[in-house]
């Protein structure tokens, strides 16, 4: 199952001429998920050819403006374009009131917002469980309640049997969903499971972790174990004073590298980069030196 990650904004705090504020698009074929919604997110979506109406889920890490001020505008656009489908939003304590206030500005929208409000804790919490997809949250180490998220997909390894699918009268439009491990219901009420049309040889887990803003912490290491990708706060360079940075609830490049090493993730991506660094290759070079020591 292909998972596409598009970094719409990787800046921090305030907009810069080279970086938009935090927003990441994750696509899995069935869902289009936004991780945080900084200002300018709609412009970035239009640039890559994605309509706001196609967004299915929004996961907010915390309620600092650079991570959430793009949400009211996004909701307003969805309403003006006549969205009908439900929108799923998850966030920490306070997200419900924030959305309600935003919707008062929007008016009476033609779609329903399903809100999952989570109180982050040091123990990993299950937030959403859908067909072949789950979302978990753990507390990041920041100055306000902050959800670090784990997005997981159960994948099925096996050959799809088109002849069997035709025998069962399954529309071609549903074949991909079945091959990705989703159970479907036909118009006549029959329930079709993946194993009905897929020669399953095994299964695996695809896992992405996104920290939001955080100082290095054991909770991030714990939730990141087994992840293919860790997207970690790297607001500052290694040349900055670590204690000062951590007290602000942020990390340096070398802090993110240590977390990734201890968690054993396959790939580390640095984000939430301060505008003070005009050349992000500085942080990449620090990671390389860190990996050699």
CATH of the domain at 141: 3.60.15.10
Strand partners, 89: 58, 115
Q: What's the pLDDT score for residue 201?
A: 64
Task: Report the interhelical angle of 95-106 vs 71-80 (nearest 10°).
Answer: 40
Does some domain include residue 180? no
Q: What's the pLDDT score for residue 239?
A: 78
Question: What SS3 string covers 271-289?
Answer: ECECCCCCCCHHHHHHHHH
Task: Verify whether residue 108 is a known catalytic residue.
Answer: no
Q: How many folded domains does the chain comprise?
A: 1
Q: What's the pLDDT score for residue 1?
A: 57
Does some domain include residue 104? yes
Q: What CA–CA distance (Å, rounded) separates 4 from 266? A: 16
Q: Which of 28, 36, 66, 233 is catalytic?
A: 66
Q: What CA–CA distance (Å, rounded) separates 191 from 3? A: 26
Q: What's the pLDDT score for residue 200?
A: 66
Q: What's the pLDDT score for residue 288?
A: 67
Does some domain include residue 81? yes
Q: The pTM is what?
A: 0.82
Regions of the chain short of the pLDDT cut 70: 1, 156-157, 200-203, 280, 287-293
Does some domain include residue 149? yes
Does some domain include residue 285? yes
99: containing domain: 4-161+197-291
């Amino acid at each position: 199952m292909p998972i596409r990650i598009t970094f719409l904004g990787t800046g921090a705090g305030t907009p810069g001429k080279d970086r938009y504020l935090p927003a990441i698009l994750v696509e899995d074929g069935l869902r289009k998920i936004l991780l945080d919604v900084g200002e300018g997110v709609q412009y970035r979506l239009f640039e890559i050819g994605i309509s706001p109406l196609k967004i299915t889920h929004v996961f907010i890490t915390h309620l600092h403006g650079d991570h959430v001020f793009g949400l009211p505008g996004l909701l307003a656009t969805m309403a003006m374009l006549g969205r009908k489908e439900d929108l799923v939003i998850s966030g920490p304590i306070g997200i419900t009131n924030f959305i309600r206030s935003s919707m008062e500005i929007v008016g009476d929208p033609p779609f329903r917002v399903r809100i999952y409000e989570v109180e982050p804790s040091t123990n990993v919490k299950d937030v959403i469980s859908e067909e072949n997809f789950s979302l978990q949250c753990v507390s990041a180490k920041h100055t306000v309640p902050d959800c670090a998220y784990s997005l997981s997909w159960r994948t099925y390894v096996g050959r799809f049997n088109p002849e069997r699918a035709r025998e069962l009268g399954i529309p071609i439009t549903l074949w991909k969903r079945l091959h990705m491990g989703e159970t479907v219901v036909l118009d006549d009420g029959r329930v079709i499971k993946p194993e009905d049309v897929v020669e399953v040889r095994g299964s695996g887990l695809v896992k992405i972790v996104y920290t939001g803003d955080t100082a290095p912490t054991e909770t991030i290491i714990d939730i990141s174990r087994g992840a293919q990708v860790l997207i970690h706060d790297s607001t500052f360079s290694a040349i900055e004073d670590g204690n000062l940075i951590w007290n602000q609830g942020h990390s340096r490049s070398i802090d993110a590298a240590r977390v990734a090493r201890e968690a054993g993730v396959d790939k580390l991506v640095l984000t939430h980069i301060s505008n003070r660094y005009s050349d992000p290759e500085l942080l990449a070079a620090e990671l390389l030196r860190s990996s050699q020591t």
